[in-house]
Amino acid sequence: MDADIDYELTRDQWEALKALRAPATECRALSRSVLAQLIALGLAGMNGDLPVITSMGRKVLVRGSSKLLDVAA
């Protein structure tokens, strides 16, 4: 039931995903192209004119990336 999904996101995508945790007024400066990529992956969405993180985006953010684990080692 729990899908083992590993997203290999770019640094810009990770930073944008982290920024989506902030209050909506702080997310307006995100790159449109990076935001569009996150939306296409189902990690972000739009609530009116404001970008929001999806539940899948939160799971991916909490889980992290294998690239991030390599850096920490």
Task: Give pLDDT, residue 25.
Answer: 56
Separation of first and last alpha carbons in the chain: 30
What is the model's pTM? 0.76
pLDDT averages per 10-residue partition of the chain, 73 residues: 66 90 69 94 92 91 65 48
Count Cα atoms within 13 angstroms, Cβ side, for 25: 0
Query: In this structure, are residues 43 and 7 in contact, taking their beta carbons and an 8 Å threshold?
Result: yes
Contacts of 34 (CB under 8 A, 6+ apart): 10, 12, 13, 16
pLDDT of residue 1: 36
- Sorted by where each begins, the domain ranges of the chain are 11-72
Structure tokens at 19: 């920024």
